[in-house]
Amino acid sequence: MKTITKLFVAAVTLFGAATAVNAKTVKNTDGNVSSDTETVAEHDMTVYGANYTDGDKFDGLTRKVGFDRMIPPHALEVCYNKTTHIIFPAEITYVDLGNENLVAGLADGAKNVLRVKSAFKSFKQETNLSVITEDGSYYTFNVKFAKEPLLLSIEMTDFLHDGEAVNRPNNAQEIYLEKLGQESPMLVKLIMKSIYKQNKREIKHIGSKRFGVQFLLKSIYTNNGLLYFHTELKNTSNIAFDIDFVSFKIVDKKVIKRTAMQEQVLEPLRAQNYVTVVHGKSTEHTVFALEKFTIPDDKQLVIEVAEKEGGRHQSFVVDNEDIVRANVIDELSIQ
């Protein structure tokens, strides 16, 4: 009986020692870490190398993300007593801060300027910052605290304005925006710039001319669910034409009394060279991108430009047959 008791005590002691050893494999020094987070086993260190961490191991068949898929982040320094301003080439639509060490917000009155600073007088742990802009670009930053940041005003370059279209920053990635459907914002921008640059007049029967001002529809293009309207405003007078607005409306062909119910306003999604004034003896042309649409036989599209505090308004009518004959964009020929 004594022998059995001694064996039982020895077994309990051995089990307790084993439990204590196993308990040491769980190091939860951070209260925000799950209790099942394990330290790296010696076997894993041998197999995967000294730089292996438990985050590299996944259950099941998993393909590791390679560095060729990585968007290299920019380095950014912030401090507590000074504010860092980052100027982006388009309106900011999304900002994500890595942790509570950072505070950020849009500059007052500027939708493309982000101000960033440290929330504390000092922090040791590196964090990150991610930004998405309206043109579909994605930017990422690794952020560290510095007593005196080297750069306090930073301009993020738009690769479309670098002078060389292939000069694209490695940390900018296309994001597809819901209002552009399945079209890439970058491709939309390239198409509009190409139409504007080529400046071809392929429609010669649609326009308006009064009071020394001529408003023309030069061409209509289509690509991947979007329509591109290329217009021109020519001012042959000596008085500047200040643009109040340009509108696209679908109206009834026979309207006795125009009401809000008889008009459908179409909002352009993008505009290339949308100017606010056409000076005397000068010409400006603009490219508008709209969601694809067609018009019933009893309706028509009216494109109107209104003069601010003036009466030289111009408008013309576009029929459905002009829209369905829109030229298809050859993406390979975009300049």
User: Using alpha carbons only, what angle is made at residue 169 by residues 80 and 165, rounded to the nearest 5 degrees?
Assistant: 140
Tell me, yes or no, whether 19 and 113 share the same domain.
Answer: no
| Residue 267 in domain | yes
Q: Return the percentage of the chain with pLDDT > 70, whole number.
A: 71
What is the domain-level CATH number for residue 277? 2.60.40.1150
205 inside domain:
yes
Give residue-wise pLDDT tens across range 262-286.
Answer: 788 999 888 899 899 999 999 999 9
Contact between 255 and 302 (Cβ < 8 Å): no
Last residue of a domain, one of 12, 47, 64: 64
- Average pLDDT of the chain? 79
Alpha-carbon distance 279 to 199, whole Å? Answer: 19
Tell me the C-alpha distance between 299 and 317, whole Å.
10
Instruction: Kindly state whether residue 167 falls inside one of the protein's structural domains.
Output: no
Say how far apart CA 128 and CA 131 lie, in whole Å: 10
- Per-residue confidence band for 136, with pLDDT thresholds at 50, 70 and 90: confident
Give the per-residue pLDDT at 61.
Answer: 75
pLDDT of the residue at 62 = 75
| Whether 79 and 212 share a structural domain | no
Q: How confident is the model at residue 51 (pLDDT cuts 50, 70, 90)?
A: low
How many angstroms separate the CA atoms of 269 and 183, rounded?
A: 12
Residues 56, 95 within the same domain: no
pLDDT at 95 over 50: yes
* Residue 89: band (very low, low, confident or very high) from pLDDT cuts 50, 70, 90: confident
Q: Which residues contact 181 (CB under 8 A, 6 or more apart)?
A: 224, 225, 226, 291
The CATH number linked to 86 is 2.60.40.1550
Is the domain of 292 the same as that of 314? yes
| pLDDT for the residue numbered 176 | 47
Single residue among 64, 83, 107 that ends a domain in this structure: 64
Predicted confidence band at 110 (pLDDT cuts at 50, 70, 90)? confident
Calpha distance 301→142 (Å, rounded): 50
pLDDT at 31 over 70: no
Specify if 178 maps to a domain: no
**What pLDDT does 137 receive?**
85
Question: Please, what is the end-to-end C-alpha distance for the chain in angstroms?
Answer: 95
> What is the tally of structural domains in the chain?
3
- Enumerate long-range contacts of 199-205, CB under 8 Å, 24 or more apart: 199/285, 200/230, 201/232, 202/327, 203/322
Dihedral over alpha carbons 39, 45, 48, 50 (to 10 degrees): 100
Residues 220 and 294 in one domain: yes
Q: Do 277 and 219 share a structural domain?
A: yes
Which of 114, 145, 161 finishes a domain? Answer: 161
| HEC sequence for the chain | CHHHHHHHHHHHHHHHHHHHHHHCCCCCCCCCCCCCCCCCCHHHHHHHCCCCCHHHCCCCCCCCCCHHHCCCCEEEEECCCCCEEEECCCCEEEEEECCCCEEEEECCCCCCEEEEEECCCCCCCCEEEEEEECCCCEEEEEEEECCCCCCCEEECCCHHHCCCCCCCCCCCCCCCCHHHCCCCHHHHHHHHHHHHHHCCCCCCCCEEEECCEEEEEEEEEEECCEEEEEEEEEECCCCCEEEEEEEEEEEECCCCCCCHHHEEEECCCEEECCCCEECCCEEEEEEEEEECCCCCCCEEEEEEEEECCCCCCEEEEECHHHHHCCEECCHHHCC
Task: Judge whether residue 56 has pLDDT over 70.
Answer: no
Do 225 and 314 share a domain, yes or no?
Answer: yes
Task: Indicate whether 141 and 75 sit together in one domain.
Answer: yes
Is residue 227 in some structural domain? Answer: yes
Q: What is the mean pLDDT of residues 160-186?
A: 51
Distance CA(194)–CA(333), nearest Å, equals 9
Is 171 inside a domain boundary?
A: no
List the single range of 49-53, 98-102, 120-124, 287-291 with lowest mean pLDDT. Answer: 49-53
Per the CB < 8 A criterion, the answer to whether 283 and 295 are in contact is no
For 73-94, what is the mean pLDDT? Answer: 92
Residues 134 and 198 in one domain: no
Given a cut of 50, whether residue 145 has pLDDT beyond it is yes
Looking at the structure, tell me whether residues 214 and 308 fall in a common domain. yes
In a domain, 300, yes or no: yes
Half-sphere exposure (Cβ direction) of 314: Cα atoms closer than 13 Å: 22
120 and 210: one domain? no
Domain check: are 54 and 94 in the same one?
no
Residue 322's identity, in one-letter code, is: D
Domain coverage including residue 22: 2-64
Residue 50 counted as domain residue: yes
